[in-house]
Structure 1
Amino acid sequence: MKFHNEDAALYQYILWKSKITPPDGIAVINEPRNIPSSVFIQKAITVTDLYFGHNWHQFRKIKTGDFTILSNPALLKLTKYIHNCGVIAHDLYYLYNNNDSKLFNIYFRKQYKMFNQPDFILSNSEFTRNDMIERLNIVPDKITTVYPYINGKIFYPGESTFRNTLGVDNKKLILNVAGEKPNKNIETVIRLMSKLPDNYVLIRVGRSTSSMKLIHDLHLEKRVIFKENIKEAELADIYRGSDMFVFPSLLEGFGLPIVEAMSSGVPVLGSNSGSLPEVIGNSGIVSDPYDIDFMADRIQSIVEDYKEYDKYRQLGIERGKLFNMETQYKQIMSALNK
């Protein structure tokens, strides 16, 4: 696998600075520049790309392999210059969501129209694959589902130091790991806490500025703990120290945190939307993403009943084993050998 910049990563398939040695003859092309963290600058770059485009001809001389995989649809114009070229499809988020940045909506909807151009597509779930067939009229044989894998050396069941560090051994910890985009449904997660007993505490990993007013209005300030910009090892420790993972997302192309939680031995509750029923299977609870009463009831029935808790813990651990490097390798090779 040849990378074209030092920190390149095949998102959800190859981890940052991965030590994996994939098949010879495959090149991966990521964003040709480092994207700054500033949202303002990101939008400025998007405007530039939307109206003027990258200087795409600069890639004509780029060294590629027998197959080239583009890491996201923003790079689809490269298919004009590269043969045996494929792209990874994570979701069609901007076809669903009109409440996010209008600029990003315009930009990505334009990019989605080019999904017909690559020779092959690697989707991260059957949900995403079917979505592309139905919404973009992509030929089904062009798309192969390749599930992300979980690093079992980081996300595994076991002891945690997290509870002792916080001094919350007598609390029931409900974990949510997500950003603030509208599809993450964070408001429902916050409202859910108001339906649970006072000894239940929410661990919110991710940016949380938009939910602060709701937390104040519901008098939950002492029952929500925030974590942001943490390292992977700390995140894994938080998973292992939690009693239940809650992820009522409205749309996911895959839902990596669900598998991280299951692999860490934490019972999971996800929504019945997007890819989450496919990922969870029969190994967790699937709920209407707005049915707070049902979610609160199921959380308590699992967290406070050791037999139920252990049942879903073991089911999740076994389910998490399905998302491994070997399976992913076979799926990628299946796509390339078509």
Structure 2
Amino acid sequence: MTSHNIVKEEEIRQFAVRLVGLSEGSSTGLSRYARSLYQELTLQEVTVGVTDFKTPSIPPFVGKLGFDSAKFFSTFPVALPDAVGNTVTHLTTQNHASAVAFKKVKRLVVTVHDLITLCYNHYPEFTTHLKYYDKFFNRLAAYGLKKARMLIAVSEYTRQDIIRLLSYPSDRIKVVYEGVDRQNFRVKEVPTNFYQRYNLREDIPYLLNVGSEDPRKNIRRLLAAFAKVSAEFPTVRLLKVGAAEFRHERQYLLDEAKLLGISDKVVFFDRVSDTDLAYFYNIATAFIFPSLYEGFGLPALEAMSCGTPVICSNAASLPEVVGDAALLFSPTDTLEMATLIKRVLSEPDLQKHLRRLSIEQAALFNWEKTAIETAKIYRQVVELEKEASMKRKPSVC
């Protein structure tokens, strides 16, 4: 019997849980979190089910106005089915809290990955893409979060944001780090057909970035830094993996790369499978993550799990996640970013050192630990609900 199982049997009782917002078809970090948590909770013998949101009926003419109601209401749901019995309800992302803004849900737990869009007044430079209806539903979600019995923050940085921006009681916020799928994201041989499929070569160095073109991802400065690197290392290519969710920003980046004279050295890939994503990490000489804000920073952890040297910004939660296993730079200093990249490209011993540290750091984050700590929170919520129920009962003289 493992130590984890001893903890589970002594501290976690069987109870029913429903995970809400599990999207099997999505490849985003949020859906990966929900799927991985579901799978591991099941392995930990927690009785867990999945609940979908009810999609509101939208008049057909609305779609002709350019409003994607299906996508919008999957992000900001408005109708949550009632729970059965003493079930714990776990919303797996903060956006889904819009569904409980006007609904009382007992034993409610919400995972908060970040508060960027929920508190756009505090982060105006990151949320210029938000429309008026986005802001309205963000406010609903923020209101819904305050109705949760407990919140799970994926980092201490996010926990402090919740306290600072939502004034939520600190004793009801627990930090539970995300895990990394080490079965897929690991050091492994890259097949030749992978290179052929993406028109890549095996004999040149690649730098890699994974994520969207969200302004907070700081890709504009990455291009500026890469232009400096390319001047000294002309064979290096920058690979940008991630769906173009911000079309205007993607076009700006394409135009900027052309102005910098590096458009033939920067390659954009949209959605790729998790299997291929692991191969992208494995072929990279370094993973560059210049974000201005991250609630956790899962791509950096996935890169580390693949033994890829990580160079990332010294901002938000990233130092907390990468520890001493990455090279850090100020996210607004393109010269410092370029200098670190050139250093890794030119020093094989440093690459080897960072690979070893990366694998060790990534090993600290695993889904089994995440599931066990999450299940403990479920039990706490059940106990808190019992205590509150007892207090509501009238005393008998």
Aligned counterpart in structure 1 of residue 234 of structure 2, from 198, 214, 221: 198
1:101 matched to which residue of 2?
A: 130
Quick one: distance in 2 between partners of 1:281 and 1:24? 32
Quick one: distance in 2 between partners of 1:45 and 1:12? 17
Question: What pairs with 1:1-338 in structure 2 (closer than 5 Å)?
Answer: 2=18, 7=23, 11-15=31-35, 19-20=39-40, 21=42, 22-27=44-49, 29=51, 31-33=53-55, 40-42=66-68, 54-55=78-79, 59-60=81-82, 62-63=83-84, 66-76=87-97, 77-78=99-100, 80-94=103-117, 95=119, 96=123, 97-103=126-132, 104-161=134-191, 164-165=195-196, 166-196=199-229, 197-206=233-242, 207=244, 208-338=250-380
Q: Which has the higher helix share?
A: 2
Aligned 8 A contact 2:19 2:38 in 1: no
Quick one: distance in 1 between partners of 2:21 and 2:320? 34
**Cα gap change, 1:294/1:4 in structure 2, threshold over 3 Å: closer, same or farther?**
closer
Deviation of 1:109 after TM superposition, in Å, equals: 3.2
Deviation of 1:113 after TM superposition, in Å, equals: 3.0
2:14 matched to which residue of 1?
A: none
Deviation of 1:5 after TM superposition, in Å, equals: 8.2
Q: Secondary structure at the match of 1:261?
A: helix
Moved more, 98-107 or 264-273: 98-107
Deviation of 1:33 after TM superposition, in Å, equals: 4.4
Letter in 2 for 1:282: D
**Cα gap change, 1:301/1:19 in structure 2, threshold over 3 Å: closer, same or farther?**
same
Deviation of 1:6 after TM superposition, in Å, equals: 8.0
Q: Secondary structure at the match of 1:286?
A: strand
Root-mean-square deviation (CA, aligned residues, Å) is 3.0
Deviation of 1:221 after TM superposition, in Å, equals: 1.9
Aligned 8 A contact 2:53 2:79 in 1: no
Structure 2: where are the runs of 5+ without partners?
1-16, 57-62, 245-249, 381-397
Aligned 8 A contact 2:206 2:238 in 1: yes
2:395 matched to which residue of 1?
A: none
**Higher Cα Rg, which structure:** 2
Quick one: distance in 2 between partners of 1:175 and 1:319? 19
Letter in 1 for 2:295: G
Aligned residues: 330
TM-score of the superposition, structure 1-length normalised?
A: 0.87
Quick one: distance in 1 between partners of 2:150 and 2:66? 33
Structure 1: where are the runs of 5+ without partners?
none
Quick one: distance in 1 between partners of 2:90 and 2:37? 17
